[in-house]
Amino acid sequence: MKDLRDKIVVITGAGSGIGRSLATVCADRGARLALCDVNEDGLAETRAACQPAAVFTSKVDVADRAAFEAFRDAVVDEYGGADLVINNAGVAHSQTIADTRYDDFEWIMGINFWGVVHGTKAFLPILKQRPGSALVNVSSVFGLISVPTQGTYNATKFAVRGFTEALRHETRGQDPHVMCVHPGGIKTGIAHAARFYVGPDGNSNQAQAAGNFVDKLARTSPDEAARTILSDLARRKGRCLIGTDAKIISAISRLVPVHYWSIMSRVMN
Domain CATH number, residue 230? 3.40.50.720
- What pLDDT was estimated at residue 235? 96
Which are the catalytic amino acids? 153
- Asked whether residue 2 is domain-assigned, the answer is no
Q: Is residue 138 part of a domain?
A: yes
Domain for residue 132, yes or no?
yes
What residues make up the domain containing 186? Answer: 8-268
Q: Using CA of residue 95, residue 142, residue 121, residue 170, what is the dihedral sign?
A: negative
Task: Tell me how far CA of residue 55 lies from CA of 84, 116, 119, in angstroms.
Answer: 14, 22, 18
Residue 1 lies in a domain: no
pLDDT tens for each residue of the chain, 269 residues long? 789 999 999 999 999 999 999 999 999 999 999 999 999 999 999 999 999 999 999 999 999 999 999 999 999 999 999 999 999 999 999 898 999 999 999 999 999 999 999 999 999 999 999 999 999 999 999 999 998 888 999 999 999 999 999 999 999 999 999 999 999 876 555 554 555 665 544 444 444 544 444 555 557 789 999 999 999 999 999 999 998 888 988 888 888 888 878 777 776 65
Q: What is the pLDDT of residue 218?
A: 58
Identify the three-state secondary structure at position 11: strand
Residue 80 forms part of a structural domain:
yes
Please answer whether residues 95 and 21 qualify as being in contact, where contact means their C-beta atoms are separated by less than 8 angstroms.
no
The whole-number pLDDT of residue 205 equals 47
Number of domain units in the chain: 1
Q: Is 3 part of any domain?
A: no
What is the CA angle 186-188-192, rounded to 5? 120
Residue type, 16: S
- The string of DSSP letters for 119-186 reads HHHHHHHHHTTSTT-EEEEE--GGGT---TTBHHHHHHHHHHHHHHHHHHHHTTTSSSEEEEEEE-SB
The whole-angstrom separation of Cα 117 and Cα 174 is 19
Question: Does residue 215 belong to any structural domain of this protein?
Answer: yes
How many Å apart are CA 85 and CA 90, to the nearest integer?
15
